[in-house]
Amino acid sequence: MIKLKIISSGKAVTAEIDSGLSLLDILRSRGFDIYAPCGGKGTCGKCRVSVRGEGEVISCKYFPDRDIEIILPGEQEAKILVHQTDFLDDVPFRQRLPDNPSSKIYGVAIDIGTTTVVFYFLNLVTGQVERISSVLNPQAKYGADIISRINYCQENETGLAELRGSIVDAINRELKTFIRKKNVVQDLIEEVVVAGNTTMLHLLLGRDPVSIALAPFRPAFTEKQVCRGSATGLNINPDGKVITLPCQTAYVGADIFAGLAVLKPVSRNYLFLDIGTNGEMAIMKNGRMFTCATAAGPAFEGANISCGMAAVTGALSHFNGPDDYTVVGNSEPTGICGSGIIDIVAWLLKNRLIDETGLLKEPYSIGPDSKISVNQQDIREIQLAKSAICSGIRILMKVTESAFDEIDALYLAGGFGNYINIDSAIGIGLLPAEMRGKIFPVGNSAGIGALQYLKSDEIDKRISGLLENSEYIELSNYDEFMTEFAMNMDFPGK
């Protein structure tokens, strides 16, 4: 037996283990959340931890064979957008009356994102949101994107149970915090409404997600699911309800439709775009909706970028030159998140340090001691990701015979869409220059959609109406998609 001493957030725990397991597997099995974007395949280099006397090691490639002391990275706070914005509707509240008039009852709206999970605790008697909180999705230790997590389920007998357990535990921790802070009992939480992409909902309910990643990409379910609290493992009233909102397809999930249902469009024709590891998009044209999805990969989440990281403390999030940048938590930069890398690439282009083909003259270093840098491979990753999104938009426009001048707005949903600098995104060709001046970040539309669903029956009707009136476009059926994709790899010219 080998003895490990694990130091995390100043506390030490010891563990005795047999040799043969990777340090990442050991830490995961002990409940430690180690960021592991490639899911332990040894290719991303992000799962580093410190081993006393040895320095930093890549935990998925490190197999302890003697007693060691491990120091884990500090707790990181995610930068997550949670509030209502002017672009999102606030529907009239439907009051619920508890059996005991002096009692309170609560509902919780949850947006399970691949990277972050946001919670809204709603008093079902008064209609007041009493707490909003957010955490990083602990499933990141199994991979940054949905495909890595599905692969983990496929390759490991207990994979689905582990992934399900990790999100259920994270939700239960937040429920426990609320219960403690409000001094209420668990049974008073009567309803939970969940938005998320199709894979996240499968993992929450313990349904096999493997068919999502295999042609013909048919998920186990797309319809709204209503479960008893006791069947989900969530610590709420066992007779309470857990509702997962309906999805359209394997890659256009409940998060998109929850967001669309609360959008207050300023016009009849608009585009809606949620950029993450996938780019999900919709166009509303003359009263009919068309959707599609494109795989951007995890570059915009910082995962395929050499110094990339999530938008947590230490991440360089905005860049306007070597002496003009912003870091989450106002600390020294320890890496670059998605919005930061877009700004850096736009700045390098503007200053001719990369050309239109993406050729970088030499690695570009930033920050004190030039500790963080951008290299040629990083630029290539951004080119792939931005081309996937941009090509998806252009094919959607073509298929629906739309011209940019008849589209009045492009709404950007999700945290990433809200933090990117729109000029930088247009500068690198991620967003269409034709929409300049008509691009509006709308906030966390999926989370607000789930919250409004909890408030009123109206949103259920709106989502059903939108689903009935929409058509999914499978981009891989269009030969022009690959041509567009190749053409959009270059950056826009001057």
Binding site for ligand FES (CB under 6 A): 36-38, 40-47, 58, 60
Least Å from the CB of residue 38 to ligand FES: 3
SS3 label, residue 445: helix
Residue closer to ligand FES by CB (options 54, 90) is: 54
SS3 label, residue 49: strand
Least Å from the CB of residue 96 to ligand FES: 45
Least Å from the CB of residue 46 to ligand FES: 5
Residue closer to ligand FES by CB (options 143, 427) is: 143
Least Å from the CB of residue 49 to ligand FES: 10
Least Å from the CB of residue 300 to ligand FES: 17
Least Å from the CB of residue 81 to ligand FES: 27
Residue closer to ligand FES by CB (options 85, 154) is: 154
3-state helix, strand, coil in the chain (%, to 5): 35, 25, 40
Q: Residue 32, Cβ neighbours under 10 Å: how many?
A: 18
Least Å from the CB of residue 145 to ligand FES: 12
State in Å, rounded, how far the first CA of the chain is from the last one.
Answer: 63
At residue 468, what are phi and psi to the nearest 5 degrees? -65, -30
Least Å from the CB of residue 47 to ligand FES: 3
Yes or no: say if 108 and 122 are a contact pair by the CB < 8 Å rule.
yes
Which residues have C-beta within 8 Å of that of residue 72, sequence separation ≥ 6?
A: 6, 7, 8, 9, 27, 32, 34, 49, 50
Burial 226-244 (b: 16+ CB within 10 A, else e): ebebeebbbbbbeebbbbb
Residue closer to ligand FES by CB (options 152, 411) is: 152
Residue closer to ligand FES by CB (options 60, 393) is: 60
- Burial of 461 from C-beta contacts in 10 A (0-12 / 13-18 / 19+): exposed
Looking up tokens 């990281």, which residue turns up?
Answer: 309
**Rounded-to-10 torsion of CA 291, 297, 301, 303:** 170
- Residue 162: both structure tokens together: 């582990």
Least Å from the CB of residue 372 to ligand FES: 18
Residue closer to ligand FES by CB (options 47, 463) is: 47
Considering only CA atoms, give the Rg of the chain: 23
Least Å from the CB of residue 1 to ligand FES: 25
Yes or no: say if 280 and 291 are a contact pair by the CB < 8 Å rule.
yes
Indicate the DSSP class of residue 328: G
Residue closer to ligand FES by CB (options 5, 61) is: 61
Residue closer to ligand FES by CB (options 22, 123) is: 22
Residue closer to ligand FES by CB (options 56, 406) is: 56
Residue closer to ligand FES by CB (options 41, 361) is: 41
Yes or no: say if 394 and 404 are a contact pair by the CB < 8 Å rule.
no
Nearest to 484 by CA among 410, 393, 422: 393
- Across the beta sheet with 278-285, the strand order is 439-443, 409-413, 270-275, 278-285, 288-295, 470-472
Least Å from the CB of residue 465 to ligand FES: 42
Yes or no: say if 360 and 379 are a contact pair by the CB < 8 Å rule.
yes
- Burial of 214 from C-beta contacts in 10 A (0-12 / 13-18 / 19+): exposed
Least Å from the CB of residue 58 to ligand FES: 5
**Rounded to an integer, what distance in angstroms lies between the CA atom of residue 180 and that of residue 235?**
13
Residue closer to ligand FES by CB (options 46, 386) is: 46
**Rounded to an integer, what distance in angstroms lies between the CA atom of residue 7 and that of residue 429?**
44
Least Å from the CB of residue 4 to ligand FES: 18
Nearest to 33 by CA among 109, 110, 148, 115: 115
Looking up tokens 């309470």, which residue turns up?
Answer: 240
Residue closer to ligand FES by CB (options 142, 257) is: 142
**Rounded to an integer, what distance in angstroms lies between the CA atom of residue 270 and that of residue 65?**
58
Residue closer to ligand FES by CB (options 37, 392) is: 37
Nearest to 199 by CA among 178, 214, 183: 214
